[in-house]
Amino acid sequence: MTEPHLFVIYGGTGDLTSRKLLPSMYRIIKDAGIADQSVLLGVSSKDIDDDAYREFVKESLLEAGIEDTAAWCAERVYHQRVPRGEEDLSLLSARITKVEDEHALPGNRIFYLALPPVAFPGVIKGLSAAGLNESPGWTRLVIEKPFGRDLVSAQSLNRLVHSSFDEDQVYRIDHYLGKETVRNLLAFRFANMLFESSWNRDRVDAIEINVAESLGIGQRAAYFDGAGVIRDMLQNHLTQLLALVAMEAPDSFDAESIRDGKVRLLNAIRTIDFDEVTLGQYGPAEHNGESLLGYRQEDQVPDNSITPTFVSLKIQIDNWRWQGVPFYLRTGKRLPEKSSQIVVRFQPPPICIFHGQKDDCVSHQNVIRLVLQPNEGFQLHFDVKSPGESLQLLEKQLSFMYAEEFEELPPAYQTLILDIILGDQTLFVRADEVEASWRLYDPVIQAADNGRKIHTYDAGTWGPEGPHTPIQWAPEPIRGEATTSPQA
């Protein structure tokens, strides 16, 4: 059940707030009929008054196609200036009390830190020093990714957070967890015995997790060049997908059981072998008649940057279910298209009785392709005998597409914001989970930061060849062009 609350967005005039948070928040409170329960207080370093901020909010909503918001903005939107780096938040605290009094709110507060990671510690200290870590109602702290930049910094950020907030107040965002198709992974596995009974080393040959992006780094160099693709995508989004695809069945569908399951899985992953890691950086190229910049030519990227924009690696899980089954994780910027897929390849039949029909038995492998975005859905690939006298095998597919069955999927941020308002932590990353994930990649990150060999790939191609051949990197559309996005 929702309760009246104050929604404080730190970074209230930023890009994330404007493009994702405001439209998602507005749609949620309208759809759930709780617009009269929510008051928004944007915090930024800009010297603007409430009216100017209301214009900004209105414009942002309009950009997202949401009209007629003037009345809500006038009645329920405020702005408080806090200079950048300021840790004395007594003014903010006084303003919160004033706004809450005006709206007779019971003191339920959300602090959403839509800020660059370097700003997290200062704001958390400031909130705590001003006593804003507790209130007469509930207080929830929302922290955007990346949470830390390695294991040590994530541990220290967790310690800082826990010095004034309890873990059940903390919502670490990984927006992939809010995508409908990602939320469906556990349902797909544990509501369908057909798949689950084959989801193990006895039946599965290999699993791929491929997240391809067609865009380059654009104007985000200030953040990305210090982060790189391992911190930006692998440590969080791809690792969450891996955990959901490989974890054991949770005891129940609650936040703690699911997060316990993910942590257990992450802790069972074998130390990554450097020989199984390929790093890449896109170089300039012509693609579809367009001249694409190389990473080093992008705005504000140093000429000699060694930041990886592509990573591909093999993961092995030392547990009963997955012993010996390789997991290939791959992601890169400036690839030919945007596509996130999980591909499960099953083992071939033990004996090949269809000699002469295909190259060898390996061809007779069933594949399940879970398409997370776009053209959301899944396909099961299987062989069928072509009608007629001779024994010809053809590969066919059974497909399911969200667009054919459901309305447009809700954007991830909409789902996540509603869960924050409701106080459901299932789709948020727990402290031990984020540390387990950094522990896994720390050695790879150190090697990358220290200039481990990085391959240049042409912008608009599928990235450098790795030590292992991809099963199915280049994604195939399922059927038609229908799409149910947005769910980003």
In this structure, the chain runs to a length of: 488
**Residue number, nearest CB to ligand BG6:** 488
Tell me the per-residue interface mask from 339 to 358 with ligand BG6, x by CB under 6 A, - otherwise. -x------------------
DSSP three-state, residue 238: helix
Can residue 119 be called a binding residue for ligand BG6 (CB under 6 A)? no
Strand-pair category, 377-386 with 367-373? antiparallel
Adjacent-strand bridge partners of 400: 378
> Which lies closer to ligand BG6 via its Cβ, residue 16 or residue 32?
16
Phi, psi of 343 (to 5 degrees): -120, 120
> Which lies closer to ligand BG6 via its Cβ, residue 19 or residue 103?
19
> Which lies closer to ligand BG6 via its Cβ, residue 107 or residue 486?
486
Euclidean distance between CA atoms 262 and 429, whole angstroms? 10
Q: Which residue's entry shows tokens 């949620």?
A: 28
Q: Which one of the listed residues 175, 237, 364, 381 is annotated catalytic?
A: 237
Can residue 232 be called a binding residue for ligand BG6 (CB under 6 A)? yes
Phi, psi of 79 (to 5 degrees): -135, 140
Can residue 144 be called a binding residue for ligand BG6 (CB under 6 A)? no
CB of 83 to ligand BG6, least distance (A): 27
287 is catalytic: no
> Which lies closer to ligand BG6 via its Cβ, residue 132 or residue 420?
420
Euclidean distance between CA atoms 434 and 432, whole angstroms? 6
Phi, psi of 315 (to 5 degrees): -120, 140
Can residue 298 be called a binding residue for ligand BG6 (CB under 6 A)? no
> Which lies closer to ligand BG6 via its Cβ, residue 64 or residue 488?
488
CB of 281 to ligand BG6, least distance (A): 15
Euclidean distance between CA atoms 140 and 134, whole angstroms? 9
Can residue 186 be called a binding residue for ligand BG6 (CB under 6 A)? no
Euclidean distance between CA atoms 308 and 364, whole angstroms? 36
CB of 171 to ligand BG6, least distance (A): 16
Can residue 213 be called a binding residue for ligand BG6 (CB under 6 A)? yes
Q: How far is CA 187 from CA 31, 182, 242, 340, in A?
A: 25, 10, 15, 18
> Which lies closer to ligand BG6 via its Cβ, residue 179 or residue 369?
179
CB of 144 to ligand BG6, least distance (A): 9
Q: Which distant-in-sequence residues (6+ apart) come within 8 Å of 289 by Cβ?
A: none
Number of residues that bind ligand BG6 (CB under 6 A): 4
| C-beta separation of 390 from 354 below 8 A | no
CB of 309 to ligand BG6, least distance (A): 10
Catalytic residues: 237
What is the contact surface with ligand BG6 in residues (CB under 6 A)? 213, 232, 340, 488
